[in-house]
Structure 1
Amino acid sequence: MVIAVGVLAATGVTLLLERSLTRILLGVILLGNGVNLLILVGGRSGGAPVVGAGPDDAMSDALPQAMVLTAIVITFGLTAFLAAVAYRSWYLGGDDEVQDDVEDQQIVALAARNEVPNADLGGEGPGDDPEQVDPEPPRRQVDPEPPRRPGGTR
């Protein structure tokens, strides 16, 4: 059982490091199943955990079973979310591969030149920050006084 946990966890982590959202989704599923199996292996096996069904020392531990049921629900929710993101990415772009963003490309260029990036100390205004990719849109001016209708009513 421990070898199965190791294989599921290693395969899940390997798939999580891929760029395709479908492979990431499969990695989350495999890693979730590996963790669930690990939790179950850690519990004590035995009879049904029902009071009066047998001696207390012969009952199985109910806590790992409850934790696995909770983890199954959480993994299912995360799987549904990632499936929706992968489908949306495929629908809009034709594939589900995660693209590099601007900062990733800058880091790759600095690594190729063997340079250290400048520290971002902050404190710049929105117009002075060279890292600002998408500045805020200009705000709409609000009239201080609403227009009056003829006859003196508002």
Structure 2
Amino acid sequence: MLSIIFIFCLLYHTYTDMKSMLLYDKVTLLLAAAGVVRAFFEHQLLEALCGAGVLLVIMLLLYFASRGGMGEGDVKLAPVLGIWLGLEQGLLCLLLAFVSGGVVGALLLLCKRGKLKQAIPFGPFLCAAAVAAYFCGKEIITWYWRMFL
């Protein structure tokens, strides 16, 4: 049941961010509450706290370094994803989101569909990466370590 809330909240965030470049706090709070309940029942509260804390610090650093180029909704969403994913899969989520967002941004520039300073909603990339990390994260991490070690 909680996984369904996770998916629907991420789908809603994707829709609203693509439509109006907004990630609504109420949806993020619902996602956070469901994530804490899940972490509690799965005895993963410490892992959820670590994931949330590290993802929050990373996103805050990027937010201030980009001087507002990163939206506040993205900064708020990332630690919530850390609650759901934990530290390892949360870091994977950020990596996948930034790589996929960078690829799409580069393609838009190459195809002359976008401008260098044009804002691109990052929420959909975070949400898609969160789903990938949630359902396939352990396998992706195992594959990665086997490939490079």
What's the TM-score once normalised by structure 2's chain length?
0.31
Task: Considering fraction of residues, name the structure with more helix.
Answer: 2
Structure having greater relative contact order (Cα 8 Å, sep ≥ 6): 2
What's the TM-score once normalised by structure 1's chain length?
0.30
